[in-house]
Each structure stands twice: as C-alpha cells, then as structure tokens.
Structure 1
C-alpha cells in the first residue's frame, strides 16, 4: 500500500459519487501510489502525460488480462483490439479504420446527427419528465454508431446491454459472475455481428466506405493483413467506444450545467463558442477516467516523483491529471473560456481516442440544441452515478423539461 490510505481495489461508496477529492489527495501527497495488488496509480498531469506518450517503456501485456479474465472470449477480445495492442499491430489495425474517422467523413454525418437530435428533442418535449440518460443522451450516440458500423438501430438497447457486460470487467474490482457474463457477452456479440460481416462481402466491392464493416472487408480484400476475427473485435470496440463515453459526456454536461446557471446561459446564448465550451466540459468530466499499461523497463518520472520499476502494472488516471492545479488554474471550477486547455480527456500519444471527432460533433450539436429547445430544465429527482471506476457516468438523470 502507498503512503496514503487509499486502495483502488477497495473503494468507499463516496468515491463513485465524487472521486476528485481522492485524486487531489493523491496528487498532493502520494502521486506515485502503490495499490494493494502491486500496481502503481499515477495522478499528476506530468506523469500521466509522460506514460501515455511512452511507446517503448510501456506496453499492454496479455498476461495481466489473462490473470484477470482467465482463458476465453473476454481475454481474446481485449487482447485483439487496437486499444490494447502495441506497435506494430496497433498501427496496422488503426490504419484500416482511420479513413472512416477522418474529418471529412465525420463532417458528412452532421446532417444525420442534427436529424436525430431534432427527432429526440420532440419526443422528450412531449414527455415533459424524463430520464435524460435513457431518453436522450444514450439515443444520439447509439443511433450514430449503428449507422457508422452498419447495423439496425432497433438493436440499440441490445447492443448497450451486451456491450456493458464486455466493458465492465476492465474495472479494478470485478466479481467472478461479471467475468463469466463478460465471456458469454463477447461470444454473443460476435455471433450477432457475424451475419453482417458475411452480408458486406459483396457490398464492400461497390462501396467500401459505406460503413466500418465494408471498409475493413475492402481493406482485407486489397491485401491488408486483417482477419475476420479482428474485424469482429474491431466492431465490438467501435460499438462500445462509440456510445458509452459520449453518452456519459452529454449526460454529465447537463448534470453539471444545472449547478452552474451562468455556464448554461453562456452555451444557450452562444456567448462562448461551443467548441471552446466543449473542451472544458471534456476536461471537467473525463468520461474515461483510467487506463492501464505495464512497464517493460524501469521508468524514471521526469517530474522527480520517483521511479516505476520494470514489469509493473501502471494505472494512468487522466481524470486526476485533468484536475491538476499544477497545470490548470482553479481546476475544480468549470470555466468555459479556459485557455490554454491542454486536457487529456481523449488520452494522448498513439492511443489517443480514434472517435474523438465523432464525440465532439455529437456533443457540440446536442448540448446547445437541448438548452435552446428547453428554456427551463429542472431536476426531477437525484442523479445516480454508476459503480464504475473506469467509465464514470450517470445511470439516471431525472429531469423536468419546460
């Protein structure tokens, strides 16, 4: 255990409601914190940034997943996607889908995003009292990611349920039951996606950019080294990554803006450019809070905070880094005009989030639209946070729209 009485593997319930006081304590008194399992938790901005950008001294190793998951589909999935692969496999897989997430490709989706936002604003407007997470924040990202992948929108709720079972075992503490559910969910997800992969074999010849599956099939046919199994795992990764964090970003933005009427008015009236405001919301919220890697050699931290030995699991806390007062003035305050704002809400280095332009597009359209459509938004009950260490998000946000 580290110098501070804090264990990522035995968290108090108050952590899930508000982890930031714990992060500040660690940054100030124990920035290289040893957890009970022998892993190191890094919380200061400089250390997190250094580790994120180190492509030679730190890797994702399948052994740590094997110890956690055991052999089976869950291990296969989380060691097959680019998110948990190192060079050169990381770049091989990322290059295949990069064109689909280029700025021009993302811009072509703007009309669809506005259409989905307008449709769901009408729906929730008629409801009056809603759960903002379920009834709006989830609906936009999942509609868009279904279109990007090329699967039916009516399967959205199914995708969310199965996807969360695949993602949850990435948390520090997971029950054997959740691990078993994760294994079953990966198999179920692959079986669901396989017919779509088969259907795209002909379409990929005609329109290789029709959707992500087509683009990967076309790449495979052109001689790029990518297996059918890797395509299926990539689809699961994009489906999960494409809706979970964006849902959390949109819902928490409204949650925190309700406590800051001035900031809410700035977005509603366009007094602050939505792009600038959104970067601050991303910093403040950081939907993906933790990542893990493993050292291949001794890492000397440039900050002077110490040394991380070779063959050590490292937990990188970008949520804490984004609240580091050494970098951000008054970091606990939501300041929509913050400048500079070099946050790491989407990670850093080669593992920076591929879908970040998509998330920015969705949130930049949805948030002003919600606030302009409803001039008065009230809480209709307490907000509830998920018991999830890695992906911080709301499970419920009851609102009254007027």
Structure 2
C-alpha cells in the first residue's frame, strides 16, 4: 500500500491548488438506504474531478530538469484536465492524448487550461499506447493516470479529508476504473483505521478490475462500453491490482441503467450534478449491491461532475425507466376506427399520461388487419405500471414492455 506519510506529504503539496471539497451528510439518501451517508463532492473540485490531486502531486514531485521538458498524459478527460491545469501552474508545456469519442466538454476543458489535445484511439487503452509512443518521441515526462505511486498518493488525500470530517466512518465507497483513486484512499484509510471497510464499484461494461479481484489474478476485458466514461478502462494494471488486493474489502458492479438512475436521483434529490463515474457509489447503495449487517456511517466519493450535456437527456430517460416513472409499450390492436381511442381511454382510466405515441400498420410481422401502437407513458412507480399491465390484459390486448 501507499505509505501514509507519503500521502500526508502529498496533502501539503496539493493544498496549494485544490479546493477542499465538502464531505456532507445526505439526509434523503440516508433515509432511503437506511444508513448514515456522507457524500465527498469531488464533482466540485476546481477541474470538476478528483484527478487534479494526483496529477498535481506527481508533477510537483518531479525533478526540475524533468519537469521543464514538459509532460504528456493519456486520459478520457478528468486526468487530462488535472495534468493541463498542473502544467499551466508550473508554466510548462503539456500534451494530452484523448480517445476520439471524448465528450467535447472535456476536450474544451483541457484546452482552456493550456493543454494541447491529440485525439487518438477508440478508448483509454488505445490512447495510452499512442501517448507512450509520443512521450518517447518528444522527450516529455509521461504522467500516468493511475499506475503511479505519486498519483495514487495525491488521490489518497481525499481519505484524509473525509476522516478529518467524520473520524468514525465504517465504510468508504469508491469508483474504480484503473484503480488509482481507490488505491490511494484505501491505503490512507486502512493505515488510519484498519477496521474501515473499503468497497470499490465498477461499471458492468468495464469489469476488468472486479474480475481480477474476484479471480485472484490479473484479468483484462476484450472491450469496454459504459456511460461512465471516466472509469471505462479495458485492462487491469498489475500495480493498482496488488494494492487493491491488499487494502480493498470488496468490489461490486452496477449497470448503465443503475448509474443513470443514480445520476437522476442525485440531481433531483441531492441537487448535485455528477458524471457517470461519479454516480456509481450511489448507484450501488440505491440498488442494494452492498450488504450492511446494521446501520453504518458510510462515505461515498462522488469522483467527478464533468458530464457531457449532450448525454443528459439520454441519462434522464434511462433513469426514469429504471425508477418506474416512465414506461414504454408496444400494443397490438385491430386496425379499425375507434381502436386507438379505446386504448387511450383505458390508459386514461389508469391515470397514465401519454408523452409519445406512434402507429404502425406496415410491420411485416403483423397479421393482416392489425397495427402496432408504440406508447411512452409517465407513471407513478412500479405498482402503477403493474396496474396498467393488468388493465391491458383484462381487455385482451397483446403487448410487450420495451
């Protein structure tokens, strides 16, 4: 694990530039999950994510002759902004290699901090390979986003702040992509209080570290696909894996619908905007992925808030579906006058609000004389949706729920 003194030294360095983000009690979430929940709001960090801590500590730790040559990094966005900000602070050049599909908001953020952006590869790992090659060509110092002890020490300063605020925490829940954040946090927490349970959360579409943890050996993924782009890491780092194996108590996973539901919950109920990676800890709580023997004091790291605004509509849609506040149906009915009116009357009787409707009589799978009606409904929860389905069955409609 990372030595506690090294993490405390990092705290002295990063305190020059970081914002000491709130670690605040979340009453609504606490009541909902039956535990005392505190949120570490790194989404409010200067660059919008925790990555500034590790990037700044690494660059500040470099010998002057290495630092002045310039730095290069590979990142899906948050580490990129942390490196660019830190390089700008030290007045040195920086190049950031980002996957080609990186959201514009993160590309723009890097440029605003003075970094030069190079787009390469379909994911972080491909961007990383290109960045390593470019670093050798340019002679720049490569700043790894997670598999670096100075970077991990910088991320570990989050645990110091959490335990200063709430010394008797029982659990800390942390997102996992490459594993640098949880390695730093778990190292600090376990040395301060070995009884603290540290739980990691991965996205189902980026399972490498969880598979490695469960199998007891390094496992890589064939590909990654998740709305949590900040933790979309394909391959497991042997460096962070060893620290996680030593310091982390369990790793659970959440899928994209659960992540979307957590983003929506945080927006509506906590008035907090986070990106997909930042929401996975809350998703794990909302969907009961972590089992508590009794009510506990739980700290959750909201790792970042750099959400792509073009994705918000999609995420809200997924969140509404997951929380049973929206329902999509395909109903087959006889294609004759009055059929659609009768269907809408039934839905009106059930107090379901129609927000979108489509009518199709051309589907080749339909019997002659039938039509498919695609309907999106606003609903009041699971019981309401079950009542709607019962009403449709009672009236002999054939339908599927999308």
Same fold (TM over 0.5): no
Q: Which has the larger radius of gyration?
A: 2
Indicate the structure whose relative CO is greater, using CA pairs within 8 Å and at least 6 residues apart: 1
TM-score by length of 2: 0.26
Higher percent of residues as helix: 1
TM-score by length of 1: 0.26
